[in-house]
Amino acid sequence: MRKLDAARASGEMVGERRVVTMMFCDVKGSTAAAERLDPEDWTEIINGAFEYMIKPVYRYEGTVARLMGDAILAFFGAPIAHEDDPQRAILAGLEIVTGIQPYRAQIKGRHGIDFDVRVGINTGLVVVGAVGSDLRMEYTALGDAINLAARMEQTATPGTVQIAHDTYKLVKPLFEFEELGGVHVKGKTEPVPAYRALGRKVIAGRLRGIEGLHADLVGREAEVMALRGVIASLEHGVGGIVCVLSEAGMGKSRLIAELRRDVPVERVGDDPPGRLHWHETASLSYESNQP
């Protein structure tokens, strides 16, 4: 909430062109269920469902732009932007479809009705900002990309997260996907490729660089030699801590990758002592509030 307030105060919610990941999520089966229940009971059920739909969005610092009956529209990348917004959107979608299952079972046992949620995601260039008239204003996005996100949600199987190709190509190394083939979208002559997100990959691939292409590192000889010296000392039992600091995009990750290639392949079990074991971990940008 503090970040949203800061975005409003700094004028970042004024209309502008942005690449945004948009997520639609709705309750499938709500129309039939609403016919059988008193409006107050159905309102209570939907409000409970909204809790499970909205919390994951805020956990990954998305913005709920609109509530639409039994559906929500959320933005990842506006007004608060991160370099991994497509990844955050898919994680939020997966949490929604799995997290709501206990509530779904509870409602089925109490009222005898069955419902589920479905999620559609797309990434693209849109104009985001306050739109409307003097009588009604809202923060939303305009452009073809948001229409495709809506179509992903409308054609998704209940209980699943469906994404368009523009999102898929940004997160392909990180998640397991099922290819769904082409989805017909109003206004487009050719079917649009769609994918079902199944979960995180056990071993994630790399997002940076060009797939299948490797180039030699140049211009970092001093840094590489310094790190190799640290490894040489470590092989003789002298430990230490190295901090690699620079602006984003200057090659910190690449420098560590080059060092990793130099380290002898680790051995386990009864191998002779003195071999090095490489252990690596990374913090998650969307868990910065977790101790």
193-251 pLDDT, tens per residue? 999 999 998 877 666 666 677 778 888 889 999 998 998 888 888 999 999 998 877 88
pLDDT band at 25 (very low <50, low <70, confident <90, very high): very high
Rounded to whole angstroms, the Cα distance separating 216 from 83 reads: 25
- Please report the pLDDT score of residue 156 as a whole number: 93
CA 159 remoteness from chain centre: 17
286 secondary structure, DSSP code: G
Q: Is the predicted pLDDT of residue 252 greater than 50, yes or no?
A: yes
Average pLDDT over residues 7-18: 69
- CA 83 vs. chain centroid, Å, equals 10
State the pLDDT at residue 283. Answer: 78
Q: What is the mean pLDDT of the chain?
A: 84
At residue 77, the 3 state secondary structure works out as coil
What pLDDT is stored for residue 34 in this prediction?
Answer: 73
pLDDT band for position 102 (cuts 50, 70, 90): very high
Give percent of the chain above pLDDT 70: 85
Name the DSSP class of 285: G
The rounded distance, in Å, linking the Cα atoms of 64 and 54 is: 7
3-state class percentages of the chain: helix first, strand second, coil last, to nearest 5: 35, 25, 40
For 26-70, what is each residue's pLDDT tens digit? 998 777 777 778 888 888 889 999 999 999 999 999 999 888 888
Q: What is the pLDDT of residue 289?
A: 66
pLDDT value, residue 133: 55
Q: Which of 207, 212, 125, 208 is nearest to 166 (CA)?
A: 125
Domain chopping of the chain, boundaries: 2-200, 221-280
Eight-class DSSP state of 242: -
Q: How far apart are CA 124 and CA 18, in angstroms?
A: 8
Q: 2-200, what's its fold? A: Alpha-Beta Plaits (3.30.70)
Percent of residues, the chain, with pLDDT higher than 90: 40
Against a cut of 0.85, is the pTM above it?
no
